[in-house]
Structures are given as C-alpha cells and as structure tokens.
Chain A
Amino acid sequence: MSHPTTLNPNDKPSGSKPGIVYSEMGEFDILSHYSRLLGEDPSKSMPIAAIESLCALCDGIEANTIHELLSTIQLGSDTLKEAVPNAISLTAGCDLFTKFITRHSHDDPRDFDTFKKKLQSNGHLFAQRARKARSIVAENGLKVVTNNPVIFVHGYSRCVMAILLNAREKGRKFKVICTETRPSCQGLRTAKELRAAGISVAVIDDNAVTYAMNKATFALVGAEGTLTDASIINVMGTQNVALAARNIDRPFYVATETHKFVDMFPVDQYMIPVKQNVIVFDPEGVEGAMSQEELTFVDYVDPKYITSFVTEMGLMSPTMVGDKIITTRLEG
C-alpha cells in the first residue's frame, strides 16, 4: 500500500513506548488494553483478546477514510505482534480479523459512517463468534471421551478444560493423568481445577510420561497455534507426549478453535517464529537448564503424530486442517 497516509510502525515519534499505536488520528495503548483483557478474564485466550483489542482500537481512533481505518488495524496488529514475546496465537487472531475486515471493506464504500459502523459491528460479531467457539469444541470433544477412558493431559489448555468439564457435566466417566509441566506448573493448575470439579486426577512427574502412557487410553492436548502443515505449537514437552503416545499407538488428539490456525510453514522446530534459547552451550553463570522466567518455552509437534483435531467444526484430520488453511490463503 503506497498511500501518503500509510502508517509505518518504524516512523514512531521519539520517546515512543512499545505496544502503543501512534497515528495522525491519535494514540491508543493497544498492549495495555490487551493485557487488561487477559488479566480481567483468565479464561480468555490470546487470539480473542487480540481481536477484541483491535475492535477497541477501531472504536477508539477517529478514522475518516476506509484506508485510514484499514491501515490503523494493520498498524495495531503489527504493534501488538511486536510487543508480545510469543505472538503465534495472537498472530492468528490478528490475521483473521484483518482478513475478515478487508474482505468486507468492498461491501458498501459509498457512505463511510455506515461502513464504519457496519465494520465495527462485524468486528464485534466476529469476536463474539470466536468466544462461542470453545463451547462448541467442548461439545464436539464428547465424541472422543467414550468408554470410560483414562486421558493423558499435558499443560493447561482452556479447550481441554472445557471438554473435560463438559464431559463430566454430561455424566461421562473418565480419569485423567496429568503432568506437572514444569517449570510453569501449568499441569498443577489443570489438576487443581479438575479435582475441584470432582474428576479423579493423577499428577505425574514430567519425566514419567513414557512410564505412565501405558495406562492412558489417549492423549489430549491444546495448542497455542496450529500451522499450515497441521503441526502444532504448544508448551514444551508436548512432543514428548506425542512420541510416547505414537510409540504404543495411543491416539493423540489436539483440542483447538479454528481461530488459532495460523498461515505459517516452519519445516522443523528450529524455524518456529519464537526466539527461545533452549539449547545454549556454556552460558555464563547458569548451571542447570536455561530459565523460562520471561517466556514459557514452546514445543513443535509434527502432524504425523497427530491423530485428529477437535475443533468447533468437528473432528478434523491433519490433512483437513492443512486444506482449510490453504483454502483461506488462496481465497486471498
């Protein structure tokens, strides 16, 4: 887009802070809005918070032309992606929203005010639909929780929680084996919430994944992002679970909403767009593993280990997931 009012994240005024959208129409602190949304509602996932922040940006900034509005959204999503260290699932939300808005931008270009109102309501509708997706995933997840299974869980995923809690509510009988998922201890959070709902949970050490897998019926994990080849990005250790499951032919299910599908194509775990120093030779002053204080390390799982995705569109094979992402790309 080569337009005189094209906004560039590099043209920030001096003394600018990361996470704030500066433009001729005013400024908007998108990062703090985003963080507030996540803080207020712990059950909210990153892409939805991103979509809602972009909606708020549209509301908060006085744009006078369609172009200004679109470039503000673009700038907002770029700013947000830049300011957050692991931006994979956030990228999914931003890209989807931008695409959605752009596709509808040609609908009625005559009257800008009506257009803007329509666009904003579209944005809110989109956010609302995305929020609703998880409850549909929970409903679809019942298809895999059958015949009193023992479910192997790793990390903390809102989708997995939704499925398990829904299954419990519907009277399905099952048990859960859950890893601690150190150092973030996400697994302990999972175990605590499940036990509070009356589900029987065994918490195991992260090193006991292969030891415990024999007792599990299948593995169920969430995903931060699902990529074009249907590989997933999730908390470190997910690949261990996938390999352990494959080794003794346990199905490996991934519960996720389709708004976490991202059009990215890394060919191996070292190409994922997250800067994490997992393997460092002879670091100064560090004796053990590299610390994960700033950022929880993420892992990459190849689609060949994934049995099926549980999404709001039903159970999807990895090929179907790839198909969906590519079709969206080709539609432009």
Chain B
Amino acid sequence: MRELEIEQHEKKKKPAFGINNAHPDVHPAILTLGVQMNQFILVGSSARCLGFMLAMKRLINDYECPAGATISRHLPGHYFSRQIDYLISARPMSTALGNSIRWLKTEIAAISPELSEEAAKKLLCEKIDVFIRERITAASEAIVNTTAGRYINDGDTILTFSKSSVVEKSLLEAHSRGTNFKVLVVDSSHLFEGKNLLTTLVRAGIDVEYIKAALVDHYMGSVTRALLGAHSLQANGSLHSRAGCSKIARSASQKGIPVIVCCESIKFSEKFTSDGIIGNEFGDTDIIAPDNNCDNGGMFGGWRNQPTTSLSSFMFDTTPARYIKAVISEHGTLGPTNCPNVLRANSSSTPLR
C-alpha cells in the first residue's frame, strides 16, 4: 500500500492527462488551458473560471456547425463534452467551473433555431461577456468594496491564509483608502501561494507579517479579523478551501475572532459533502517527500518501495459552518448557511442575476 487506497481509487477513475491523449476535437484554446491548469500556472477558482470562459469564446468563434444540425443541438452535445473531459483530465472540476459550464450549456441550448449561425455565435459571445462582467468582475468588485469599506477598520490586524485574489484586492483597496491596518499572511505548505500575496502587499507598502500555518496559534492573540478566500461554499455552509484553512478558522473562532469568507456567488455549490475527503483533490506528494531528497536516501528515501508506507497530500479541506461568522458575496454579507437562499433566488429569476 504505497498510497492511500482512496487515492489509488481516485487515480484509477482519472484518465491520463496529456495533449497526446486529447481527442482531436479539442480546441487549441482548451488544449492550452488544460496544460495551464495541469501545471498550476493558472490557479484559483475564479481565474480558472475566467480562463475557461475566454477559451470558450475563442472556441465558439472558430466553431462551424455541421450541415443538417443546429447550433443549439450540436454544440452542447459530444463536441462540448470532449472539451470538458479533457479539462477534467487536466485537473478535477471546481465548483465555479461546474456552475459556469452548466450556465453555458443552458444558454447554448436556449438559442433559437431560427437564428443564423453567425448571429447565434455573436449572441453567445456577448452573453459570455456579460457573464464574465456580472458574475466575476463586478461580483469581485462588490465584495472588495464591502470588505474594504466595512470589515477592515483602523487598527485591525487581519489574518489571511494562502492567497485569494479577492482578499488580496480587498486589502489593497483598504490600504489605498487610507485605512491603517496590519496583515498576517499564513501560508499553506502546498503551492506557497501566500508568498505571492506577500510580494504584492509588501510592494503596496502594507505592514505585513508572514508565518507558516503551524505557528498560527502563537500569533492569534493579536489578530482582530480573519479573512479567507474560498474554493467553494457548500449548501450546508461549510467552506471548501485550500488545505489548512479549517485549522486556521477553528483556531480563530475559538478565540472569538470573527472568521469572514469572501466568496463570489459563482462558487456557491448546491451540494455538500459529509467530510473533507470526498470531492477532494490529490496534490503532489513531493511537498511532503521531495523526490530528489528521496533519491539521495534522505528522510523518506525509498518510500515508494516500502509496502507499509503511504503518503497523501490533499489539496483542500472543509471548514464547518460553525467556525464561519460571515460570508461576503456580491449579494451583501450573508451567514454561511444562507448560500441556498442565494442559489434559490438566482434560479428563480433569469440565469444571470
């Protein structure tokens, strides 16, 4: 048992990733996107969603409907699924990506068959632009505005974990508004994304401290707020985010420090998981036992040949709703369990709201 059984099981389900394995139908823009996701060049839920939407715009522009078929029937069919299968083989689907794919499919299927192919393509591209503007760009602006305006105040010490683009923007915005506050960046040992945040904050001239997650309890005494980003927010209010988040949130909420999550409603999921393992993603075990270290007979030397040793490195964890005080979305500040209310409101009106 070299890896956890559950991990092997997950890997068996997953087709091997590679441009060579991709179906010939996969569009070049999607091919590139897949590689970027697989190599962690393009990380972050919103960034991946944005990248996907832009790639789809290129795909739609290049798309030619076969004779005898209509765009509303042919495009969302096999052709579309092949693109998605390829992307899933690059990296497991995220909630935001899933939500936007579902939205796009509905929009394509709703196109009137009387529309000419050119007009239909133009309409779709416009709709994608509106989607990007409303659900990603404007949403994150609204969140930044609320967070910087109301939840970051003079004299605060803000704890943040790993890197979230919307938290980063909020901190920069609050700084540019002249708020006087300190930031404590806690980094995960996964992709060390906190370092990117650190660089940006230091460049902006914000008073910032950088620590490893293991030390967080020592520093918690001086923290006044914890601002966290999200991978997705589940229907029962629990937060799916970079591994380590749960520990930070628990530590903060037990000390009476309000834990605030910044999350666009595109990341709201109608599902929830009973634990942190289901729907998780397996990262590189090299961060625990670097391969070069092993080869030279280091601490984990030869672990791959040891039948009793297994390593696993989860990318995400689940923070229960009870550790979260507030969720800031483009619909204002919500309680963590109000996620279904927003989903219901969104689905009862037009798909875009």
Contact = CB atoms under 8 A, between A and B. Distances in A.
A267 B322 CA distance: 14
Q: Is the interface of A mostly helix, strand, loop or mixed?
A: helix
A330 B258 CA distance: 24
B221 to A, nearest CB: 16
Contact of A265 (B322, B333, B337, B345): B333
B335 A322 contact: yes
A329 interface: yes
A229 B341 contact: no
Nearest to B225: A267
B149 to A, nearest CB: 12
Contacts of B225: 267
Interface in B202-222: none
Which of B256, B258, B326, B338 gathers most chain A CB within 10 Å? B338
A326 B258 contact: no
Interface in A309-325: 319, 322-323
Contacts of B96: none
Contact of A228 (B322, B333, B342, B345): B333
Interface residues of A, number: 16
Interface residues of B, number: 18
B341 A327 contact: yes
Nearest to A319: B337
A268 interface: yes
Nearest to B326: A267
Given A267-B151, A267-B258, A267-B326, A323 B332 contact: no
B133 interface: no
Given A229-B325, A267-B258, A268-B258, A330 B331 contact: yes
Given A326-B335, A329-B331, A330-B331, A265 B326 contact: yes
Nearest to A303: B335
Interface in A74-109: none
Nearest to A330: B345
Cβ-closest 9 pairs across A and B:
A267-B258, A265-B333, A330-B345, A326-B338, A322-B335, A229-B335, A326-B341, A267-B325, A267-B326
Given A228-B334, A330-B345, 19 more contacts: A228-B335, A230-B335, A263-B332, A265-B326, A267-B258, A267-B260, A304-B322, A319-B335, A319-B337, A322-B337, A322-B338, A323-B341, A326-B334, A326-B338, A326-B342, A327-B341, A327-B345, A330-B342, A331-B345
